[in-house]
Amino acid sequence: MNSKNIRAAFLDFFEGKKHKIVASAPMVIKDDPTLMFTNAGMNQFKEFFLGNTRSKYPRIADTQKCLRVSGKHNDLEEVGKDTYHHTMFEMLGNWSFGDYFKKEAISWAWELLTEVYKIDPETLYVTVFEGSTDEDQLEMDQEAYDFWKGIIPEERILMGDKKDNFWEMGDQGPCGPCSEIHVDLRSAEEKAEVNGASLVNQDHPHVIEIWNLVFIQYNRKSNGQLEPLPEKHVDTGMGFERLCMALQGVKSNYDTDIFQPLIQALERFTGLSYGKDEAVDVAIRVISDHIRAVAFAIADGQLPSNTGAGYVIRRILRRAIRYGFTFLNIQEPFIYKLTPVLTEAMGEAFPELSEQQQLIENVIREEEHSFLKTLEQGLLLLEQSLKKTKGKVMDGRKAFELYDTYGFPIDLTALILEEKGYSLDEQGFEEAMQEQKSRSKSASEVTKEDWIVLKQGTSQEFVGYDQLEASVNLLKYRKVSTKKEGEQYQLVFTPTPFYPEGGGQVGDKGYLETPDGDVAYIVDTKRENNEIVHFAKELPKDLELPLTAVVDAGQRRRTAANHSATHLLHQALRKVLGTHVEQKGSAVHSRYLRFDFSHFSKMTEEELEQVEQFVNERIQENLPLQENRAIPMQEALQQGAMALFGEKYGEEVRTIRFGESIELCGGTHVNRTGDIWHFKIVSESAIAAGIRRIEAITSDAARNYYEEHLQDLQEIKSLFKGGKNAVESVKSLQEENAQLKKEIESLLREKAGSLKQELSREFEEVGGINFLARKVDLDASGMKDLAFELGGQYDNLFLLLAAEQGGKALLSCYISKPLVEKNKLNAGAIVRELGKYISGGGGGQPFFATAGGKNPDGIQKALEAARSFISE
Ligand code: ATP
Ligand code: MG
C-alpha cells in the first residue's frame, strides 16, 4: 500500500463510521497566544472540548499537519538521530465530541488496523492508564482495560504511568487518560529472544507507538487541579509516517515512500549514498525531515524571521543547513532544490505546497545563502578566538557569544574544537545559556488564575459589525499577569461590540460603564478558544450592576478605513503588477496599514503611483460596502473571493465586496469607500526573498500627513517673504548659491596665486637652500596645494607652513626631493619633532608631511625651530 492509499483508507474508514472529514488546520497558529504551532490533531478542536462552542458535527476525522519543535512537545533534538520522530508529521485522527466514547474508539481502531490495514494482531500491544497516587489521585482506567480484554489477550495489555498514558496538550487545558497501540516490527528470531512486551515504551526503534486514543474528560486548571468536563470526548492521533512504515514492511520511517524520493534526491545532489555511514545518514534524515517542516511553514504563511514562530522555523532550517555543511560537506545552497521533489510527493494532498512552490524555493535558497555566510564568518571568529585562548579549553561564554550573536551552532563549535585538539568549557556555555533563558522566560512568562464564572452555559454573541455600544452581561473573568503588561483582567461578556484581534486587524479598545458612571477601560480584545476576551487594567467596581460596553469609535473608524484600503490595495497590486501577487500578511492598525505580498522585484516609482491612483479612484467612486455574513465557502470562491494560505475557514464564510474587490474577511470596514478619504503609500521594501512590504496611511493619518507637509511649505514660503511660488524661490536660491560658490572659488584661486608670489619673495637663502617658515591663513588642503605648487617651481626648497584652524594648530613641511637625498632631510621626522611645540604629532613621507596639535600658541616656536634642521 502506498502512502496515498494509506491516508485515503483512514479517511474512508471513518467516513463509513459517520465522521465528517475536515481539512487539516494550518500548522502555524495565528490567533492563539498559548500555542505557536499545531502539535496534535486536537488543537483545532480545543474550544469544543472546553465546551465554549458546540461542534456542528459530533464526529470528525482528518489528517493534521503537526509540528513538534517547541513547548511541551518538542522532538527536535531526536529528529534524524532516531528513525521515527519528525519535526513535521501528519497525525491521522478521529474525534467524538460528547458522542461515542471508549468502547467505539477502541473497537474501531482495532478494526481499522487488523481488518482494513491487515496488520497481524499478534504484533500489536496496547497500554492502559494504571492510575496515579500523586496529587491527582486518579484511578486506573478499568473501563478501557475491560474493552481491550474482549479483543486482545491480557498478556498484551500493559499498564502505563502518567508519562505515557495520561495525555496533556500543555500545562493547562483539556486532558485525560489514554490507551496507546504499539507495533512490534522485529524479526521472528528477535521476537523469540526478547519478549515484545518488555520493549514497549522503551525507545526501541522497532517496537513503537503508532496510535494514541485519548479519552478527554478533564480540564487542567491553572492551580494544577483537574476538573471533570461536563461531557466526555474522544481524541485519537495516529502517526501517519509510522503507520506507513508498519504497512510497507520497512524498519524506518525514512524507508517509506514518503521520504525515499527526498533521500534519493539528496544522494544525487551530494554523490553520497544513504545507508553506508551513520553520520551521513543522520544528516540526510535531518535534511529530508526539516525541508518538510520549513516548506509547510512557509506555505502556511510563516516566513523565517528573527522572532517568535519565524525564528523557530529559521532555526529548523539552520539545523538542516549545518548538517549539510558539516556532514555532507556542501558549502553552497542546495536544500531548496528539494522543494520540487517534495511538491511532487505531497502537493496533491496539500495543494498549498504546489501553488507556492516558487516562493518556498526562493525563501529557502535565500536563507541558505545568508546562513552559509554566517557560518563562514563564525568559523573566522572561532579561529581568532582560539588564537587568543591560552591552554586547550575554549571559554564557554565565548562559544555562547558565537551561538547567540552569530547563530553559530554549539555542536558545530564543539566539533571543530575537537578536530583542532581543543575542548569546550561546557559548563560556562550552559551557564550563559541558562542566564539568557531565564532572562527571556521571565519576560514572557504569563500567569493565569482560573476563570471566575458568573453565568454558566450562556454563549457569547458578537454584535460589533452593527453596534459600537451594547448593554452586556458579564459571564466570567480572571486575572492574568505578564512581565510586559503587568496585572490585567480578562473579561468575557455578552453580547460584545468589541472586535477581537484577528485577520491582521488590531483588537478594539473602549470601556465598560456602570449606571452610576464607574468606568473600566478595555485596552485590548483578543480571541481565545473561540471566545472574545477583553483585557482591562481594572474590574468594574460592581460586577452585579448592568454594564454598558462602549467601543472607542475614533480608533474603530480609522482602523476600518485602513482595513478597507488594504482590500483595495490588494486589488490594485494584482491589477498593476499581475495575478502572481498573493497576500502574505497584513497588519491593520488605526494609524497605518501594512501589507506583505509575493512579488519578485522592487516596485518602481510609476508602479507605486499607479497603485496609489487606482486605490484613490476607488475611494472617489464612493463604492458601497456589500457584506455577506454567512455564505458557503464554495459559493464565495465562485464569486471570486480568494482564500489565503495558512488561514482557517469554516464552511460558511463572510465576504466583503467593494465594487470588484471581493475578499473573505472577518474584519470591520467603512460603509462607503469615500470614508477612507485618501490613500497614501509611505514605504515599499523587501522583507524576504520574493516578499515585498507596503506601508500606507489613510483617513486622519493621511490628512495629518498632508497638513504637516503643507505647514512645512507655509513656513518655507514665509521664509521667502511673500514669494508666491516656493519651488521657483528654491530654484533661484539654488542658482544663486551655485553662482556664489563659483565666485568664492575664483577668489580663493586669486588669493592663493598672490600668496604664492608673496611667499616666493620671502624665500631666504640658507646654505644654498630656499628656506621659508611662515604662518598662513589656509586650511590643511590649501597648505598642501600651495606647498606642491611652490615645490613644482623651485627644486631646492625647504618649506614649513603653519596655520591655526578652529582652535587647532596645523603644520605642513615640504622638502624638494633632491634635498631629501643630498642633505638627508626627512619631512616626516621633522614634523614629528616640531609637533611637540603644538602638543600634537604627525607624519608622512620624507618630502611632504603634516602634523596637527591642540596648542596654536606653540606655532611661533615651531616656526622658529624649523631653521635648525638645515643650519646645522
Ligand atoms: P512518542 O512517545 O513516540 O514520542 P507521543 O507519546 O509523543 O509519542 P502522542 O503525543 O500520543 O505521541 O501522538 C500521537 C501519535 O503521533 C503517536 O502515537 C505517534 O504515532 C505520532 N507521533 C508523535 N510524535 C511524533 C513525531 N515527533 N514524529 C512522528 N510521529 C509522531
Ligand atoms: Mg513524544
Cβ within 8 Å of residue 166, ≥6 positions away: 129, 132, 138, 175, 176, 177, 178
HSE, side-chain direction, 13 A CA sphere, residue 592: 12
HEC profile of 821-851: HHCCCCHHHHHHHHHHHHCEEEEECCCEEEE
Answer for the pair 256, 245: CB distance below 8 angstroms, yes or no. yes
Query: Is there a single domain that holds both residue 461 and residue 564?
Result: no
Query: Is there a single domain that holds both residue 519 and residue 633?
Result: no
Per-10-residue mean pLDDT, the chain, length 872: 95 98 92 84 90 90 95 88 96 97 97 97 97 92 97 96 90 91 96 95 96 94 88 96 97 97 96 95 97 96 89 92 92 96 92 92 94 87 87 89 80 83 90 84 78 86 97 94 88 96 95 91 92 93 88 97 98 96 94 95 96 98 97 94 87 95 96 97 92 96 95 88 80 93 89 87 90 92 90 90 94 93 91 94 93 94 92 66
The residue nearest atom 26 of ligand 1, judged by CA position, is: 85
| Residue 563 annotated as part of some ligand binding site | yes
| Residue 85 annotated as part of some ligand binding site | no
| Rounded-to-integer distance, Cα 272 and Cα 259, Å | 16
| Rounded-to-integer distance, Cα 205 and Cα 212, Å | 17
Query: Is there a single domain that holds both residue 158 and residue 291?
Result: no
Query: Is there a single domain that holds both residue 456 and residue 521?
Result: yes
Does residue 709 belong to any structural domain of this protein? no
The residue nearest atom 31 of ligand 1, judged by CA position, is: 239
Q: Which mutation among 66, 209, 216, 259 tests ligand 1's pocket best, with the greatest number of atoms within 8 A of CB?
A: 209
Query: Is there a single domain that holds both residue 281 and residue 348?
Result: yes
| Residue 178 annotated as part of some ligand binding site | no
Query: Is there a single domain that holds both residue 773 and residue 860?
Result: yes
Give residue 578's pLDDT. 94
Answer for the pair 678, 702: CB distance below 8 angstroms, yes or no. yes
Rounded to the nearest angstrom, the distance between the alpha carbon of 144 and the centre of ligand 1 is 20
Does residue 705 belong to any structural domain of this protein? no
Angle between the 410-419 and 357-387 helix axes, to the nearest 10 degrees? 50
Query: Is there a single domain that holds both residue 651 and residue 589?
Result: yes
Terminal-residue alpha carbon distance, the chain: 104
798 in contact with ligand 1, CB cutoff 6 A: no
Does residue 727 belong to any structural domain of this protein? no
Closest atom of ligand 1 to CA, residue 210:
20
What is the grid cell recorded at 342? 517534495
What is the grid cell recorded at 757? 608670489
91 in contact with ligand 1, CB cutoff 6 A: yes
The residue nearest atom 13 of ligand 1, judged by CA position, is: 237
Give residue 492's pLDDT. 96
Does residue 68 belong to any structural domain of this protein? yes
Rounded to the nearest angstrom, the distance between the alpha carbon of 642 and the centre of ligand 1 is 35
- Domain of 286? 259-376
- CATH code (residue 764): 3.10.310.40
The residue nearest atom 25 of ligand 1, judged by CA position, is: 85
Query: Is there a single domain that holds both residue 369 and residue 408?
Result: no
Give residue 30's pLDDT. 81
What is the grid cell recorded at 557? 473608524
Tell which residue, 563, 552, 542, 543, has the closest CA to residue 492. 543
Residue type, 648: K
Query: What DSSP state is assigned to residue 496?
Result: B
856 in contact with ligand 1, CB cutoff 6 A: no
The residue nearest atom 24 of ligand 1, judged by CA position, is: 85
Buried b (16+ CB within 10 A) or exposed e, 390-424: eeeebbbbbbbbbbeeebbbbebbbebbeeeebeb
HSE, side-chain direction, 13 A CA sphere, residue 690: 22
| Rounded-to-integer distance, Cα 208 and Cα 187, Å | 14
Q: Which-ligand-closest: CA of 63?
A: 1
Rounded to the nearest angstrom, the distance between the alpha carbon of 414 and the centre of ligand 2 is 27
C-alpha angle 116-118-124 in degrees, rounded to nearest 5? 115
**Look-up: residue for cell 494609524?**
591
Write down which residue in 672, 700, 728 finishes a domain. 700
- CATH code (residue 658): 3.30.980.10
Query: Is there a single domain that holds both residue 412 and residue 324?
Result: no
Q: Is 2 helix (H, G, I), strand (E, B) or coil?
A: coil
Give residue 186's pLDDT. 96
Radius of gyration of the chain (CA): 37
Write down which residue in 326, 342, 376 finishes a domain. 376
Give residue 645's pLDDT. 85
Tell which residue, 352, 316, 358, has the closest CA to residue 340. 358
209 in contact with ligand 1, CB cutoff 6 A: yes
Does residue 707 belong to any structural domain of this protein? no
Give residue 722's pLDDT. 67
Does residue 382 belong to any structural domain of this protein? no
Rounded to the nearest angstrom, the distance between the alpha carbon of 194 and the centre of ligand 1 is 24
Answer for the pair 477, 451: CB distance below 8 angstroms, yes or no. yes
Q: Total structural domains in the chain? A: 6
- CATH code (residue 254): 3.30.930.10
Write down which residue in 528, 551, 574 finishes a domain. 551
679 in contact with ligand 1, CB cutoff 6 A: no
Q: Which alpha helices (H) appear in 388-489, and where do they start and end?
A: 396-406, 410-419, 426-444
Tell which residue, 791, 782, 781, 778, has the closest CA to residue 827. 791
67 in contact with ligand 1, CB cutoff 6 A: no
Does residue 724 belong to any structural domain of this protein? no
What is the grid cell recorded at 618? 476607488
Answer for the pair 324, 287: CB distance below 8 angstroms, yes or no. yes
Answer for the pair 731, 642: CB distance below 8 angstroms, yes or no. no
| Rounded-to-integer distance, Cα 307 and Cα 677, Å | 35
190 in contact with ligand 1, CB cutoff 6 A: no
The residue nearest atom 16 of ligand 1, judged by CA position, is: 239
Q: Which-ligand-closest: CA of 242?
A: 1
Query: Is there a single domain that holds both residue 485 and residue 584?
Result: no
Query: Is there a single domain that holds both residue 331 and residue 303?
Result: yes
Give residue 33's pLDDT. 73
Distances in whole angstroms, Cα of residue 226 to Cα of each of 98, 165, 222, 236:
19, 16, 9, 21
Q: Which-ligand-closest: CA of 237?
A: 1
Q: Is 531 helix (H, G, I), strand (E, B) or coil?
A: strand
Residue 221: other Cβ atoms inside 10 A: 15
Answer for the pair 824, 815: CB distance below 8 angstroms, yes or no. no
Closest atom of ligand 1 to CA, residue 201:
2
Give residue 723's pLDDT. 65
The residue nearest atom 3 of ligand 1, judged by CA position, is: 209
Does residue 384 belong to any structural domain of this protein? no
Query: Is there a single domain that holds both residue 338 and residue 431?
Result: no
89 in contact with ligand 1, CB cutoff 6 A: yes
